[in-house]
Amino acid sequence: MKRYPWFAALFAGLYLVNAHAAEVSVAVAANFTVPMQKIAALFEQDTGQKVLLSFGSTGKFYAQIKNGAPFQVLLSADDETPLRLEREGFAQVGSRFTYATGRLVLWSKTRGLVDDKGAVLKVGNFKSIAMADPKLAPYGAAAMQTLSKLGLGSSLTPKLVTGESVGQAYQFVATGNAAMGFVALSQVMVNRQISQGSAWVVPQSLHEPLQQDAVLLNPGKGDTAAQALLIYLKSEKARAIMYSYGYDP
């Protein structure tokens, strides 16, 4: 049989291009970890395109993106960071949109420790309380705003245990290294129910809205998988998953 080495090389080159185009690298705010894992699995199942997920604090991702990290999409925990990246030339203008609005919750894995009014904060009969770093994570900033509005910022400062992200704050509480903590509702809710322990869903009047925006970053420009994923986030399947974890899609 006649062989055409040049054709084989061309085919291999096209295969590599298509394989690259079928993958999208996504930086995901820690609060959105579990919902995004489920959404990504459905996206891969429905489209055949692979999603590479990285989870962390929005502030840390901002610094990494400015330093050249090759993320194609950012799912932020706020609306300010994507806007800033867009203005500074690191994201595609016009691609930004709100994919969900999150909720802050004071949670303990111990039943009965946190009441449904958050009065435990004023009683102060606990050793430590965890939250994300307010300088890096919007959920940490919301937690500090809550304590300030309640007039408890100064009195509870000695008890604060700060994590780099809301994911780390959750781990402090889940492992018993903190009695309770301010985390994302999505981290402790399944099918619209608190999965375990005790919790107080913080009224949104106590902090700035946790409006979470997505944006197409410069490395994702022209990438069909990246654009498809952003569209998929607006689908009924994705919205249903977000809702089940306490988000307002």
* 123-156 pLDDT tens trace: 988 999 999 999 999 999 999 999 999 999 999 9
pLDDT of residue 248: 87
Domains 5-101+210-244 and 103-206 share a fold: yes
Beta strands across the sheet bearing 73-75: 50-56, 23-29, 73-75, 210-216, 97-102
Taking residues 166-177, report their average pLDDT.
96
pLDDT of residue 94: 96
CATH topology for 5-101+210-244 is D-Maltodextrin-Binding Protein; domain 2 (3.40.190)
pLDDT of residue 7: 32
Residue spans of the domains in the chain: they are 5-101+210-244, 103-206
Q: How confident is the model at residue 3 (pLDDT cuts 50, 70, 90)?
A: very low
Q: What is the DSSP string of the chain?
A: ----HHHHHHHHHHHHHHHHHTEEEEEEEGGGHHHHHHHHHHHHHHH--EEEEEEE-HHHHHHHHHTT---SEEE-SSSHHHHHHHHTTSB-TT--EEEEEE-EEEEESSTTTS-TT-THHHH--SS-EEEE-TTT-HHHHHHHHHHHHTT-HHHHGGGEEEESSHHHHHHHHHTTSSSEEEEEGGGTEETTEE-SSEEEE--GGGS--EEEEEEEBGGGTT-HHHHHHHHHTTSHHHHHHHHHTT-B-
Please say if the pLDDT value at position 205 is more than 50: yes
* Rounded CA separation 128/97 (Å): 37
Considering the four listed CATH numbers 3.40.190.10, 1.10.357.10, 3.30.465.10, 3.30.300.30, the one that applies to the domain covering 103-206 is 3.40.190.10
Q: How confident is the model at residue 227 (pLDDT cuts 50, 70, 90)?
A: very high
Give me the half-sphere count of Cα atoms (radius 13 Å) on the Cβ side of residue 55.
12
pLDDT of residue 10: 31
pTM: 0.86
Q: Is residue 184 a contact partner of residue 31, using CB atoms and an 8 Å limit?
A: yes
Q: Give me the residues paired with residue 105 across strands.
A: 183, 201
pLDDT of residue 58: 96
Residue 56's identity, in one-letter code, is G
Q: How confident is the model at residue 247 (pLDDT cuts 50, 70, 90)?
A: very high
Q: Is residue 77 a contact partner of residue 31, using CB atoms and an 8 Å limit?
A: yes
Burial level of 233, CB count in 10 A (0-12/13-18/19+)? Answer: buried
* 31-45 pLDDT tens trace: 999 999 999 999 999
